[in-house]
Structure 1
Amino acid sequence: MSSVQDKTWFGQPRGLTILFLTNMWELFSYYGMRALLVYYMTKQLMFAQEKASFIYGTYTAMAYFTPIVGGVIADRWLGKRRAVILGGSIMALGHFLMAFEPLFYLALATIALGNGLFLPSLPSQINDLYRADDPRRGRAYNVYYVGLNLGGFLAPLVCGTLGEVYGWHYGFGAAGIGMFVGLMIYVAGHKYLPQEAQRSAPVQPSEGPASSGRLWLLLLGVGIAATIFRGAYEQIGNTLPLWIDSGVDRSLGSFVIPMTWFQSLNPLLVISMTPFLLWFWRLRAGQGKETRPAIKMAIGALIVAAAYLMLAVVTATLGDQRATWPWLLAFFIVLTFGELYILPTGLGLFARLAPARLGATTVASWFLAIFSGSLLAGAVGTLWSSASHAGFFVLLAALAVVAAGLLWLLDKPIRQRI
């Protein structure tokens, strides 16, 4: 491991850059397809809004359920590297299948299947790049999160524009190309990645059954909080695009901003805001005032609640009038600020709490919360057409507040484990 750690780019192990770029392109493919999905179903396939929201929620949920099985397969049999390569190849195939309307459901299932192998196996390699006492390890997940969102920023601009202007299938094809590029980067940079332990050796438990059981109960509690939070957060790809289409004045002079471009705001803000937050958190840590992970996540959930409350006030005040797009920009600024407090912190927390040689499985448990949260988001999204927009946004804020309260209650037991 020392040779991997000693070779650095930008002050971090070179392997972090490889993982960063690989997942950047994977997220380019995922967000590129996601930016088009609801519009494609409602405008091309002519699905009703309720059906489109339900399919969207079910697809995103299954994309984050399959990693549970994939994480176990990677830890026990395939290994993380083979799981990334095989999973990414299957996902690329699924994206290309999206170009054919009769294969719509098969394409979604193929992407979800490949994601099961790919998703838990990539970020679970980050911890192995660092020694246990390396101070860079705690913030590595925020750096990694920037890479994810760089792909998320480019995806709506490229795939969204191709889909809206030239045809939906061009956008889906571009998403498939992005997945293929990510795979090539991963294969080319394998020498900078940490060596894997032999999977044939028996796993030596580091703690007793009672302690292990308490650990999994603690992870379950954090997962429940993340599920509730995701029920609100995931609306940015579900019902929020519908509001952007019908409730936002997208005019910029004589130019009308494409709907999908606004979905680039969130990842762009992640990229621009993360350096400031990392500097702020380092400063507080140096002063002995570092915020504990659960409290940091609770703060993030409350900030996201404030973002949705802002939309509730705007829509209630304007009535039938369209909101101007700067309100949407303000919403994304507040939401992204909260997101940076909760989502990378949660992923890093699960990785830090992972038992020995169960890294992919434990990280997959974090994605299980995304699965359940996406199902909840799909169910909540079906209320969009029957509720007032202001009332719907208040409901989303309430979900985020409940998640914050649960995370605050979990702070003490988490503090005792790390």
Structure 2
Amino acid sequence: MTQAVNKGTLLGHPKGLFLLFGTEMWERMSYYGMRGIFVLYLSTIATAAAMGWDMGYFGIDPNSATAQEDYSNALQANALSYLGTYAMLVYLTPVLGGWLADNKIGQRKAIIIGGVLMMLGQFAIGVPHDLIPGMEVTFLWLGLGLMIIGNGFFKPNISTMVGDLYEEGDRRRDSAFTIFYMGINLGSILGYFLVGTIGEKVDYQYGFLAAGVGMGLGVLLQLCLSNRYLGDLGQTPSALKGQKKNAPKVKKPLTPVERDRMKVFLVLSIFNVFFWAGFEQAAGVLNLFAKNNTDLFIMGWEMPASWLQSVNPIFVILFAPIIASIWVKLGDRNPSSPAKFALGLFFLGLGFACMVGAAIQIGEDQSVKASIWWLVMAYMFHTIGELCLSPVGLSMVTKIAPVRFLSFMMGIWFVFMAFGNKLAAEAGKLVGTSGPFNTFLGVTIFAMVAALVLYLIREKLVDWMHGAEDPNYKNEEEALEEEMSVTADHEGMPKKHL
């Protein structure tokens, strides 16, 4: 660890924590704000006209009786494909970005490079179409590419720096991550409300530009204040610290215990894909359902559909301390990681059961708008499921992975999450062919069956973990602090382990 410059504390923590808090908050505002309007933007007729995506592009006969319906479904499927590819790559590039920071450039430079690239990416997508006639698709891919690469530099490094603010054994570290992840949620709420409002009420291009400005503010914070509050923290690549020359490299085979634990890792990774394939419908199909099939009028005013995306981070803030307290209060009856995974899938299924209700309400011809409360309830159950599964999965990896393979296995964990995001987009396309009712019912049944299967094999998985989950808390206060730190980490990114 590199000690930060002592510039005093705020709320009992180094002021550098709140600099990282602010930087991450603006980055999440940019990321989630863009994600909240992305499929809405790509599925509009105006965007399709600018991009050259006419009916002929999709092979649709304009004289067909169902031409308009087919065209609308094709635009939505196309938008979901773009979102799925983007979301998948966003989870893959941090593996490379983390390696470059650790071995070549250091975390601080990686954060600045990543932030600037993401800002430029948002600006590229936000360029008004009339300024780049004939190049709209090029700028779209350029913007997505810059944001994907930038995210790879930014995301795995800023959370790691939070842990480096504290000495090993400093009990403030866990609560620091809880504070830090509240910044993530505040940023995502701000993004959905600010970028969503500008995008849907003014112009989608201006929404992307606003997201870029938010990212720029995060970069500006780092450039202006990092030397003062972080000192030399994150300047030196971690692989170069205390490096021993000519140290022999010893390759050890996996022990029987490690092989069993690897089985647990692989099984839960598969179920992890299933969960994210359902959960990540939020930015895609559920976002489109909110825009096209939900009654968003409140006292004569139409609420932006992207605002509903903020329900998840709001519920994370509300439920994280409650769920953490429940796990602690259960004591010896605290469910194992596989059991919590099963609970996560069960709540995912409950959320889609609510969407089945929404599909029933709109009927076959979809002439009736569904109540907004169906989506609110769906997001509520999905959030509970996320808090049961996502942070527990990360904690599980750090417990069962052989130390010499920890970073590699954490990277593989994100690869499975990337596949889940891409599968979410592919599954979402079924709404255009099978209809909302059949699609939501199918996801509900699949999630429930997956939850049941995982619950039935949970004891075998626990046996294969060979005691990796045995708690070692000194008291209830220590247990609650650790559980709160883990439960608040709902984004699926490592803290101090990479």
> Normalising to structure 1: TM-score of the pair?
0.86
The answer to whether the 8 Å contact 2:3/2:165 transfers is no
CA distance in 1 between counterparts of 2:112 and 2:262 reads 29
Larger deviation, residues 99-108 vs 184-193: 184-193
Compute the displacement of 1:223 (Å).
2.8
Compute the displacement of 1:243 (Å).
1.0
Question: Which consecutive unaligned segments of at least 5 residues does structure 2 have?
Answer: 54-74, 130-135, 470-498
Larger deviation, residues 362-371 vs 174-183: 362-371
Which residue identity does 2:357 align to in structure 1? V
Specify the alignment match of 1:302 in structure 2.
346
Specify the alignment match of 1:416 in structure 2.
467
Compute the displacement of 1:216 (Å).
5.7
Over 3 Å counting, the alpha-carbon distance change for 1:86 and 1:410 in structure 2 is: farther
Which residue identity does 1:270 align to in structure 2? V
1:312 paired residue among 356, 363, 368: 356
1:250 paired residue among 283, 292, 296: 296
Specify the alignment match of 2:253 in structure 1.
209
**SS of the residue 1:210 aligns to:** coil
Larger deviation, residues 8-17 vs 159-168: 8-17
Task: Answer with 1 or 2: which has the greater Rg.
Answer: 2
Which residue identity does 1:88 align to in structure 2? G
Specify the alignment match of 1:329 in structure 2.
376
* CA-to-aligned-CA distance 1:150-193 (integer Å, 9 cap, x gap): 11111121111111222111111111111122233345242395
Over 3 Å counting, the alpha-carbon distance change for 1:196 and 1:108 in structure 2 is: closer
Compute the displacement of 1:141 (Å).
5.1
Over 3 Å counting, the alpha-carbon distance change for 1:206 and 1:335 in structure 2 is: farther
The answer to whether 1:45 aligns with 2:89 is no
The answer to whether the 8 Å contact 1:67/1:115 transfers is yes
Compute the displacement of 1:415 (Å).
5.9
Specify the alignment match of 2:143 in structure 1.
107
Compute the displacement of 1:295 (Å).
2.9
Compute the displacement of 1:45 (Å).
1.8
Compute the displacement of 1:57 (Å).
0.6
Specify the alignment match of 1:182 in structure 2.
218
CA distance in 1 between counterparts of 2:124 and 2:117 reads 11
The answer to whether 1:59 aligns with 2:59 is no
Specify the alignment match of 2:447 in structure 1.
400
* CA-to-aligned-CA distance 1:118-140 (integer Å, 9 cap, x gap): 22222334444556656666676
Over 3 Å counting, the alpha-carbon distance change for 1:214 and 1:280 in structure 2 is: closer
CA distance in 2 between counterparts of 1:92 and 1:406 reads 41
Which residue identity does 1:20 align to in structure 2? F
CA RMSD of aligned residues (A): 3.3
CA distance in 2 between counterparts of 1:161 and 1:265 reads 15
**SS of the residue 1:417 aligns to:** coil
Which residue identity does 1:417 align to in structure 2? A
The answer to whether the 8 Å contact 1:309/1:397 transfers is yes
2:287 paired residue among 226, 241, 255: 241
> Matched residues, percent identical?
30
**SS of the residue 1:323 aligns to:** coil
**SS of the residue 1:366 aligns to:** helix
Specify the alignment match of 2:120 in structure 1.
93
* CA-to-aligned-CA distance 1:193-250 (integer Å, 9 cap, x gap): 5786442726888993314766666544433222111110000001001111222111
**SS of the residue 1:385 aligns to:** helix
CA distance in 1 between counterparts of 2:339 and 2:169 reads 23
1:346 paired residue among 390, 393, 398: 393
Over 3 Å counting, the alpha-carbon distance change for 1:126 and 1:49 in structure 2 is: same
Which residue identity does 2:240 align to in structure 1? R
Over 3 Å counting, the alpha-carbon distance change for 1:115 and 1:3 in structure 2 is: closer
* CA-to-aligned-CA distance 1:68-105 (integer Å, 9 cap, x gap): 22222223322333222222221111111112352011
Question: Which consecutive unaligned segments of at least 5 residues does structure 1 have?
Answer: none
Which residue identity does 1:300 align to in structure 2? G
Compute the displacement of 1:61 (Å).
0.8
Specify the alignment match of 2:478 in structure 1.
none
